[in-house]
Amino acid sequence: MGDFMKILKKIIRIFLVFLLLIGLFCGGVYLFIRFSPKIMINSANNITLYDKSDQAFFTGSEKGEWTSLDEISPHLIQATIYTEDKKFYKHFGFDIPRIVKALCSNILTQSHSQGASTITQQYAKNLFLDFDKTWKRKFLEAWYTLRIEVNYSKDEILEGYLNTINYGHGNYGIENASHFYFNKDSSDLSLAEASILAGIPKSPSNYSPLVSLDAAKERQLLVLNSLVRNKIITEEEKEKAYQEELHFVGEEKEDLLTSIHYYQDAIMKELENIPTIPSDYSDIGGLKIYTNFQYDVQKNLEKTVQETFPDDSKLQTAVVVMDPSNGGIMALIGGRDYQESSYNRATDSKRQVGSTMKPYLYYSALENGFTSSTAFVSERTTFPLSEGKTYSPRNYNDVYGDKAISMATAIAYSDNIYAVKTHLFLGTESLIQVARRVGIEEKLDEVPSLPLGTSEINIMHMASGYAAFANTGYKVDAHLINKVEDGSGNVLYEHTSEKELVLNPSLVYILNNMLTAPYDPLYVDYNYPTAISLSGKLTHTYALKSGTTSGDNWNIGFNQKVLCAVWVGYDDNTELVKSDYKYAQNIWYKTVEAYEEGMSNEDVWYEKPNNVVGVLVEPISGKPANDGDEHVKLMYFLKGTEPNGDEPVFDEIENP
């Protein structure tokens, strides 16, 4: 018994020492925080985005919009507390029992459905520019939670939270949300209105009444039931509030663009990769971000996308509209409906690019002595490879000319046989070298099928690569952000447009003119150009290339004023059917034509370099035109490389 008591006393002493050490540690942390500079919590979500004309198109919770707690409806305050964190006034930033309960529930259900973040923790999370889920980030959020709790009263924390939280549709803070949804001050919100708004922050893309009224009402009922359980309102008051018919002003806003959130998300993604931008708002007083965004271009793009697809279609799209002179992204869409899917396919996805890979190949061919008239025979071909292997590509619909065709004709028809013959003739590394020069960084395999687009590339990268053709040879980086300032106006970052000449401008001019062939009626022969349906719809000249795989459809086209890249496909790689291939083309031409409305064609197309000459040719064969030719076209060549009619077809050269 004596030995047991000795052991017990020793355990008690160790426990007391442990408690003392914990107390000293907590006291030290408290004193350290107490006498450290205060976190600027009113800078949470304090972010303003400016368009190309330096007009603000998105404003977060600026201090000027701040509403004091006593000016906010008690209904909203109570609904928020008893929905998000009913022990808010009792804990010290962390609700430990709630955390333990959530952990147990998630373990039992093998999910992450139960959350336990307090209002202070959510507020701390809003001090960061991104939402990483690393252990380092979790530690920082916990540290900021403590700093907020030590330095601010509960009322100050709640006030800040309500002034910075996201209520959907770009509305941060209760005052912005109250005016957006109900056109009234937050002090005048009724119980019905307040319970709707209090339910939104958990998931603005799901619980906004403008997205799904049914989901918003379901969430509202949860909020009201929480108030009943905590004896804040009666059952009768709950029923009256739930049954109250509400009128949402936001539905009537003609300029409400949901697609703008894809652009905003892309800005934040780009911001994360700028090393001079701190990862939190705590000591910079917010951010002013100056971008290339053009509202009218985005508005037209959203309208075009909405009108293009059938309502019941599961097809998705990504679109990038760029100023090719500097790589500035004017508009961007990452999906058909941000409220249904916030996944940004423009910035985050990689898809097989199909024949949009071919212009890199044909530029390489021009660089290696090919011309617009260089001919290969279009016919069913099986290519012998190493180790006894073979490769048998096929043209779309198995259409072949069974005769020699020019490079321009191969572009018009997107002839796969011509492309593979060129690819193997030049060497499989030749295409890759050009792609790398214009900025394509994805993995590209040296395989015969590479010019047919079997590699997966991001649409932003493809747009950036094509920009080198659009601006006659200069490599530019696709970017949304031009400049970033902190809350005091100090410049934290400025994009420098260092254009590097990576392609020969004269060869690019020749290639760009060949890329008008896909919609040129002069190329109608044994086949039709791939975009012949556009021949009567385009009022300006564009270079254009389409690309198709079993699950992807691309259209990338440009002139010197605008570049537009469009991808259409299914997220789950479901095979496209024939009728699906029209959508990317329709989005592309409507977007570029709307952008260049009122511009003259002379202003958008390219001036011929002095060392380039135009020659009248029969377009299918590429040979000099004769009086008896049904079709004659002006095609371009470097001086000294003009066709004379005696050029051999490459297939006929022995051991080429």
| DSSP structure string for 285-334 | --EEEEE---HHHHHHHHHHHHHHS-TT---EEEEEEEETTTTEEEEEES
d(CA 307, CA 304): 5
Contact 302, 333 (CB under 8 A): yes
Angle between helices 2-34 and 135-151 (to 10 degrees): 80
**Confidence (pLDDT) at 41:** 65
Amino acid found at 476: V
Q: Give the length of the chain.
A: 656
Q: How many CB atoms lie within 10 A of CB 120?
A: 28
What is the Cα–Cα distance from 78 to 431, expressed in whole angstroms?
Answer: 64
Strands 56-59 and 543-548: unpaired
* Residue 482: both structure tokens together: 């031009």
CA distance 577 to 563: 27
Q: What are phi and psi of 227, to 5 degrees?
A: -70, -35
For 396, counting Cβ atoms within 10 Å of its Cβ (0-12 exposed, 13-18 middle, 19+ buried), the class is middle
Q: Is residue 178 within 8 Å of 186, Cβ to Cβ?
A: yes
pLDDT at 114: 47
Q: Domains in the chain and their CATH numbers?
A: 67-256 (1.10.3810.10), 301-652 (3.40.710.10)
Cα separation, 35 vs 46, whole angstroms: 25
Q: What is the mean pLDDT of each run of 10 residues along the chain (656 residues)?
A: 68 69 59 60 74 87 72 95 90 69 57 64 73 65 79 90 86 90 94 95 88 92 95 94 90 69 92 82 76 96 95 95 97 91 94 97 97 96 88 94 96 97 95 96 94 95 97 95 90 88 98 98 97 96 97 97 98 94 97 96 95 96 91 96 85 55
Structure tokens at 331: 């508009």
pLDDT value of residue 24: 61
Q: Give the angle subtended at the CA of 235 by the CAs of 234 and 238, to the nearest 5°.
A: 90
Q: Where are the alpha helices (DSSP H) in 69-201?
A: 74-84, 96-109, 119-125, 135-151, 154-164, 174-182, 191-198
Report residue 250: phi and psi, to 5°.
-55, -25
Count Cβ atoms within 10 A of the Cβ of residue 78 and give its class: 0-12 exposed, 13-18 middle, 19 or more buried.
Answer: buried
The predicted structure's pLDDT at residue 19: 63
Name residue 329's beta-bridge partners. Answer: 322
Measured in whole angstroms, how far is the alpha carbon of residue 237 from the centre of its chain? 44
pTM of the model: 0.83
- 563-569 and 552-558 as β-strands: parallel, antiparallel, unpaired? antiparallel
250 token code pair? 């936001």
Pairing of strands 383-384, 474-475: unpaired
For residue 71, give the DSSP letter. G
- C-alpha 33/C-alpha 592 separation (Å) is 56
- Closest residue by Cα to residue 377 from 656, 649, 654: 649
Q: How many helices (H) and strands (E) would you count in the chain?
A: 22, 20
Q: Enter the tokens of residue 578.
A: 């024939």
What span, in angstroms and rounded, lies between the C-alpha atoms of 524 and 413?
A: 9
- What pairs with residue 546 in β-bridges? 555
Return the percent helix, strand and coil in the chain, to nearest 5. Answer: 45, 15, 40
Distance CA 531, CA 413 (A): 9
SS3 call for 328: strand
Could you give the residue numbers annotated as active site? Answer: 84, 355
pLDDT of residue 50: 94
CB 608 within 8 A of CB 635: no
Nearest to 160 by CA among 81, 68, 89, 280: 68
Cβ pair 125, 131 in contact under 8 A: yes
CA 498, 501, 506, 512 torsion-angle sign: negative
Q: Which residues pair with 613 in a beta bridge?
A: 637
